[in-house]
């Protein structure tokens, strides 16, 4: 009798576990602030037994979470570094990147700033601290205030690679936790400049600056990102330990589905097709 | 979604072959971007290949496991190991009526140096050098007691900043920033303090440089505990400034000419407790203020005059201590070693040399031959920094240095060097009965030194 009760309790517990699947997703703020929570809500509506734990604290934390085994999906707006790959291999983790959407890093200024376009060279010089006053790039005199992401952000390192020839940011630059914070600070500061993902360039109080590429002024858009003419375009990733399985595989499949990609497009990302 | 295995293998192979080395997986980006642009692979397939290459890079190369600072743009690790057999003879000045003593010694010595030089972003730099032996003027470690291991010391540690091509600043303990010969500066000594260089680029490759250094020679206690004897300790600083003009002519015959006039002087202080001990200047308070030295080094180089790769060099150095009278009195007369009033105070030193060689000493078969002659007046130089191999740092000497070097391989060379010196002014250190002891600044009658070196660089 006692054995029967124990067996019944164990079976009940097992059933409960099977129904209360929890998907832990960590990493990029670019993906984790809007896109993935929205996808998760839609996914939960179709799969009521699934719950999500989403922590958007930067791509570095997402890649580390896969290496440490503390998340099933690591969101990242940058590729894993060789040292991260090496650390993963040392722990028997097979880092597998899957592109889930494209993004363009938009250069934003305060909406009252008269500067409408900048060359790639000027952008590099501004963020590296070589140019410190708006008057040097056709704006009214005033010290340029630079807002960047913090060092755990994939956008932070992506922007250095894509726009700054891998140079370091100006010492005076202010590090922000996320895209929304950068957009909010630039909206408050008429001398501000920063960068945000495509999903944030229409935030209130700011405007995107066109990038002058060989005489052609290019704004970040779905078209310029997809045809790869916009210079600061990049893929965004889900990292998993090998091919994903279980609920992680299903959520990845949902993300890549037409429905998932439509959500990505609606939020401001560029869908894969 | 998954890429076809055969296609993946073929692409991996072609990218890897194209890159020649898996260690260059980081360079695969442009090639993969081109393949995507041409529609040969899609973005996800390119990403899979990129990840596989990075994994290979991370797993199979040492570089892939290094986690270097993002601020680092270049990290140069270099070094060398020298094995030396040295034969030396030091003949002392004999007391009148007695024979001179010849101190002979044979030593096997080694010198190991490991250098790290880092280039950081925005013109910053830093570096270090670790080497055997504590003495700044020689990294040689004599093979001594079998029961003894040897220490490693920090010979260089510096930060540098180059805000533009024209300016260069450095601080710490660094390579000698001045154009000089071993008449004035021992090549092993790394000065410490601060140095600045401003370069003006003239026509073509010609340059005009202003170099300056504020060099710490000795840290002295400025104050002592209450109740103790009063002290007048002041840190000893050397202030050295130099104008360097380089004129380039061409790749053949007369190649270039370099002149580097300068002026070096000290504050009024004391240099004591030199590591090398008794063969250095016997210090006393204020002694360094009598070193105000004009320096005039230079060289003329000829290239390819006896065939491609050959080089002929003439070089020289000249110094004059404008405070020599006081220096001679303080350095030599102090303590009872009086100089006759008519004696030359040894204000001047000079060196002339000739060199001939093939190659730059970087390839198998390269060789060089050099010979120079020099005279070192007793008041003309700071013996704390002169070449320790020439007369064992003693001044009031004249003599020759001969050297020949041959590259056995691109990285290993054999060098033979011979020094022969003798006393320059016999009226100094006469060992007259009234003189109790030699001033160690100039206590040798003659010296011979033969060094046979095997050098391996990496």
Query: What is the CA angle B79-B84-B90, rounded to 5?
Result: 130
pLDDT score for B250: 81
Q: How far apart are CA A177 and CA A158, in angstroms?
A: 15
pLDDT score for B195: 98
Same domain, B88 and B212: yes
Report the range of poorest mean pLDDT among A265-269, B251-255, B388-392.
B251-255
Same domain, B15 and B134: no
Q: How far apart are CA A115 and CA A142, in angstroms?
A: 12
Short-list A56, A84, A241, CA closest to B59: A84
> For chain B, how many residues are written?
458
Q: Does A243 touch chain B (CB under 8 A)?
A: yes
CB A236 within 8 Å of CB A28: yes
Among B13, B38, B63, give the residue marking a domain's end: B63
Same domain, B21 and B117: no
Nearest by CB: B43 against A89, A99, A167: A99
Residue B269 binned pLDDT confidence (cut-offs 50, 70, 90): confident
**What is the 3 state secondary structure string of A30-94?**
HHHCCHHHHHHHHHHHHCCCEEEEEEECCHHHHHHHHHHCCCCEEEECCCCCHHHHHHHHHCCCC
CATH fold of A2-102+234-267: D-Maltodextrin-Binding Protein; domain 2 (3.40.190)
Residue B422 binned pLDDT confidence (cut-offs 50, 70, 90): very high
Contact B122 A83 (CB under 8 A): no
Determine if residue A215 is left, alpha or beta; phi over 0 gives left, psi from -120 to 50 gives alpha, anything else beta. Answer: left
Residue A8 pLDDT more than 50? Answer: no
B179 SS3 class? coil
CB B393 within 8 Å of CB B407: no
Name the residue in chain A with its Cα closest to that of B67: A83
Report the range of poorest mean pLDDT among A2-6, A82-86, A106-110, B32-36.
A2-6
Q: Does A146 touch chain B (CB under 8 A)?
A: no
With a CB cutoff of 8 Å and minimum separation 6, the contacts of A73 are A23, A24, A25, A26, A27, A62, A66, A238, A239, A240, A244, A248, A251, A252
Report the range of poorest mean pLDDT among A139-143, B186-190, B275-279, B360-364.
B275-279
Return the residue matching tokens 């050397």.
B238
Reported for A180-185, long-range contacts at CB under 8 A and 24+ positions apart, including other chains, are A180/A33, A182/A108, A182/A147, A182/A148, A182/A149, A183/A108, A185/A147
Q: What is the mean predicted confidence (pLDDT) over A3-12?
A: 48
DSSP-derived secondary structure for B356-382: EEES-S-STT-EEEEEEEEEE-TTTS-
Give the up-direction half-sphere exposure of residue B319: CA atoms within 13 A in the CB hemisphere: 30
Residue B341 pLDDT more than 70? Answer: no
Note the pLDDT tens digit of each residue in B18-62: 444 444 444 567 788 888 878 888 888 888 888 888 888 877 777
Residue A239 pLDDT more than 90? Answer: yes
Contact B121 A168 (CB under 8 A): yes
Q: Is the dihedral of CA A271, A273, B6, B8 positive or negative?
A: negative
pLDDT score for B21: 42
Our CA-based measurement puts residue B412 at a distance from the nearest CA of chain A, in whole angstroms, of: 35
Q: Which residues of A touch B5 (CB under 8 A)?
A: none
Residue A148 pLDDT more than 90? Answer: yes
Query: What is the CA angle A108-A212-A114, rounded to 5?
Result: 45
Query: What is the CA angle A268-B1-B4, rounded to 5?
Result: 145
pLDDT score for B429: 67
B81 SS3 class? strand
Contact B1 A256 (CB under 8 A): yes
CATH class of A104-233: alpha beta
Q: How far apart are CA A187 and CA B413, in angstroms?
A: 66
Same domain, B228 and B315: yes
pLDDT score for B82: 97
- Going from N- to C-terminal start, the domains of chain A cover 2-102+234-267, 104-233
With a CB cutoff of 8 Å and minimum separation 6, the contacts of A154 are A27, A28, A30, A58, A59, A60, A76, A77, A78
Our CA-based measurement puts residue B174 at a distance from the nearest CA of chain A, in whole angstroms, of: 26
Q: Which residues of B touch A96 (CB under 8 A)?
A: 51
Residue B334 binned pLDDT confidence (cut-offs 50, 70, 90): very low
| CATH number of the domain encompassing residue B258 | 2.40.160
Q: Which of residues 95-154 of B touch A (CB under 8 A)?
A: 121-122
Nearest by CB: A89 against B50, B55, B67: B55
CB B411 within 8 Å of CB B417: no
Q: How far apart are CA A126 and CA A133, in angstroms?
A: 9
Q: Does B27 touch chain A (CB under 8 A)?
A: no
Q: Which residue has the higher pLDDT, B216 or B39?
A: B216
Name the residue in chain B with its Cα closest to that of A81: B54
High-pLDDT (> 70) share of chain B, %: 81
Q: How far apart are CA A20 and CA A13, in angstroms?
A: 10
Q: How far apart are CA B395 and CA A254, in angstroms?
A: 86
Q: What is the mean predicted confidence (pLDDT) over A165-194?
A: 92
Q: Which residues pair with B107 in a beta bridge?
A: B86
**Angle B43-60/B28-37 helices, nearest 10 degrees?**
160
Q: Which residues pair with A116 in a beta bridge?
A: none
Q: Which residue has the higher pLDDT, B230 or B269?
A: B269
Domains A2-102+234-267 and A104-233 share a fold: yes
Short-list B191, B75, B189, CA closest to B125: B75
Q: Which residues of A touch B25 (CB under 8 A)?
A: 82
Q: Does A86 touch chain B (CB under 8 A)?
A: yes
Q: Does B37 touch chain A (CB under 8 A)?
A: yes
Same domain, B235 and B340: yes
Parallel, antiparallel or unpaired: strands B292-295 and B262-266: antiparallel
Tokens representing residue B215 in the block:
């060099």
Tokens representing residue B17 in the block:
């072959």
Tokens representing residue A206 in the block:
């700011």
State the DSSP code for B58: H
Nearest by CB: A85 against B2, B48, B54: B54
Parallel, antiparallel or unpaired: strands B298-303 and B310-321: antiparallel
Our CA-based measurement puts residue B67 at a distance from the nearest CA of chain A, in whole angstroms, of: 6
Parallel, antiparallel or unpaired: strands B167-173 and B207-218: unpaired
Count CB pairs under 8 A between chains A and B: 62
**Interface predicted TM-score of the whole assembly (ipTM), two decimals:** 0.70
Contact B44 A98 (CB under 8 A): yes
CB A57 within 8 Å of CB A7: no
Q: Does A257 touch chain B (CB under 8 A)?
A: no
B217 SS3 class? strand
When divided into structural domains, chain B yields a total of 2
Residue B338 pLDDT more than 80? Answer: no
Residue A15 binned pLDDT confidence (cut-offs 50, 70, 90): very low
Same domain, B43 and B103: no
Q: Does B56 touch chain A (CB under 8 A)?
A: no
Our CA-based measurement puts residue B163 at a distance from the nearest CA of chain A, in whole angstroms, of: 11
Our CA-based measurement puts residue B121 at a distance from the nearest CA of chain A, in whole angstroms, of: 6
Q: What is the mean predicted confidence (pLDDT) over B139-154?
A: 92
Note the pLDDT tens digit of each residue in B203-215: 778 999 999 999 9
Report the range of poorest mean pLDDT among A88-92, B115-119, B250-254.
B250-254
pLDDT score for B272: 57
CB A193 within 8 Å of CB A109: yes
Return the residue matching tokens 């007391």.
B95
- Domain around B399: 71-457
Report the range of poorest mean pLDDT among A106-115, B64-73, B223-232.
B223-232
pLDDT score for B23: 41
Residue A55 binned pLDDT confidence (cut-offs 50, 70, 90): very high
Note the pLDDT tens digit of each residue in B179-194: 999 999 999 999 999 9
Residue A1 binned pLDDT confidence (cut-offs 50, 70, 90): very low
Residue B343 pLDDT more than 80? Answer: no
Note the pLDDT tens digit of each residue in B438-453: 566 777 889 999 999 9
Contact A95 B2 (CB under 8 A): no
pLDDT score for B100: 76
Mean pLDDT of chain B: 83
Nearest by CB: A86 against B1, B26, B64: B64
Contact B71 A168 (CB under 8 A): yes
Same domain, B255 and B307: yes
pLDDT score for A51: 94
Note the pLDDT tens digit of each residue in B1-12: 444 555 555 555
Same domain, B141 and B43: no
Among B25, B47, B63, give the residue marking a domain's end: B63
Mutate to test the interface with B, among A60, A81, A85, A272 (most CBs of B within 10 A): A85
Same domain, B252 and B322: yes
In terms of Cβ atoms closer than 10 Å to its own Cβ (0-12, 13-18, 19+), residue A176 is buried
Same domain, B328 and B410: yes
With a CB cutoff of 8 Å and minimum separation 6, the contacts of B364 are B407, B408, B409, B410
């Amino acid at each position: 009798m006692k054995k029967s009760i124990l067996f019944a309790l164990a079976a009940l517990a097992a059933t409960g576990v099977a129904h209360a699947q929890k998907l832990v997703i960590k990493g990029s703020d670019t993906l984790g602030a809007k896109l993935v929570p929205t996808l998760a809500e839609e996914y939960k509506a179709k799969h009521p037994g699934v719950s999500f734990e989403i922590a958007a604290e930067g791509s570095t934390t997402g890649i580390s979470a896969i290496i440490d085994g503390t998340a099933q999906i690591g969101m990242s707006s940058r590729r894993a570094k060789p040292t991260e790959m090496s650390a993963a291999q040392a722990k028997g983790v097979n880092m597998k990147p899957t592109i889930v959407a494209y993004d363009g890093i938009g250069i934003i200024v305060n909406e009252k700033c008269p500067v409408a376009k900048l060359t790639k060279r000027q952008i590099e010089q501004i963020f590296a601290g070589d140019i410190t006053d708006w008057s040097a790039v056709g704006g009214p005199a005033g010290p340029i205030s630079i807002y960047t992401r913090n060092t755990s952000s994939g956008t932070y390192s992506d922007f250095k690679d894509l726009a700054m020839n891998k140079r370091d940011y100006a010492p005076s630059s202010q590090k922000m936790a996320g895209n929304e914070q950068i957009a909010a600070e630039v909206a408050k500061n008429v001398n501000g400049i920063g960068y945000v993902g495509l999903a944030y360039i229409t935030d209130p109080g700011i405007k995107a600056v066109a990038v002058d590429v060989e005489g052609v002024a290019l704004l970040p858009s779905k078209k310029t990102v997809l045809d790869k003419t916009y210079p600061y375009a990049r893929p965004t990733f889900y990292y998993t330990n090998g091919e994903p399985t279980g609920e992680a595989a299903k959520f990845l499949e949902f993300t890549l589905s037409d429905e998932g990609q439509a959500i990505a497009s609606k939020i401001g990302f560029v869908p894969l097709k | 979604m998954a890429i076809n295995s055969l296609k993946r293998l073929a692409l991996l192979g072609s990218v890897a072959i194209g890159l020649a080395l898996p260690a260059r997986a980081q360079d695969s980006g442009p090639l993969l971007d081109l393949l995507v642009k041409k529609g040969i692979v899609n973005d996800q397939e390119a990403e899979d290949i990129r990840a596989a290459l990075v994994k290979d890079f991370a797993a199979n190369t040492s570089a892939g496991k290094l986690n270097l600072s993002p601020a680092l743009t270049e990290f140069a690790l270099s070094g060398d190991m020298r094995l030396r057999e040295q034969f030396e003879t030091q003949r002392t000045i004999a007391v009148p009526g007695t024979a001179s003593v010849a101190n002979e010694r044979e030593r096997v010595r080694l010198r190991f140096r490991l250098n790290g030089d880092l280039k950081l972003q925005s013109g910053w730099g830093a570096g270090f050098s670790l080497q055997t032996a504590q003495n700044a003027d020689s990294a040689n470690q004599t093979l001594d007691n079998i029961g003894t291991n040897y220490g490693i010391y920090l010979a260089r540690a510096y930060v540098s900043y180059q805000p533009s091509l024209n300016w260069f600043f450095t601080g710490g303990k660094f390579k000698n920033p001045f154009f000089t010969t071993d008449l004035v500066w021992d090549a092993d000594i790394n000065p410490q303090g601060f140095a600045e260089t401003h370069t003006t680029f003239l026509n073509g490759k010609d340059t005009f440089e202003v170099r300056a250094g504020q060099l710490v020679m000795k840290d002295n206690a400025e104050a002592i505990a209450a109740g103790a004897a009063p002290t007048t300790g002041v840190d000893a600083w050397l202030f050295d400034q130099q104008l360097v003009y380089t004129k380039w002519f061409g790749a053949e015959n007369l190649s270039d000419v370099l002149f580097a006039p300068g002026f070096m002087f000290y504050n009024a202080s004391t240099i004591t407790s030199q590591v090398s001990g008794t063969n250095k200047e016997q210090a006393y308070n204020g002694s360094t203020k009598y070193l105000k030295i004009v320096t005039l080094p230079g060289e003329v180089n000829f290239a390819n005059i006896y065939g491609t790769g050959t080089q002929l060099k003439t070089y020289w150095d000249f110094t004059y201590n404008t405070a020599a009278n006081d220096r001679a009195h303080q350095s030599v007369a102090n303590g009872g070693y009086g100089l006759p009033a008519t004696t030359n105070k040894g204000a001047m030193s000079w060196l002339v040399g000739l060199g001939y060689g093939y190659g730059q000493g970087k390839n198998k078969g390269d060789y060089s031959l050099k010979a120079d002659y020099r005279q070192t007046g007793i008041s003309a130089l700071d013996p704390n920094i002169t070449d320790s191999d020439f007369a064992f740092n003693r001044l009031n000497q004249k003599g020759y240095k001969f050297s020949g070097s041959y590259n056995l391989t691109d990285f290993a060379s054999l060098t033979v060097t011979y020094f022969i010196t003798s006393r320059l002014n016999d009226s100094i250190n006469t060992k007259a009965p009234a003189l109790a002891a030699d001033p160690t600044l100039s206590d040798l009658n003659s010296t011979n030194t033969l060094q046979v070196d095997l050098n391996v660089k990496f």
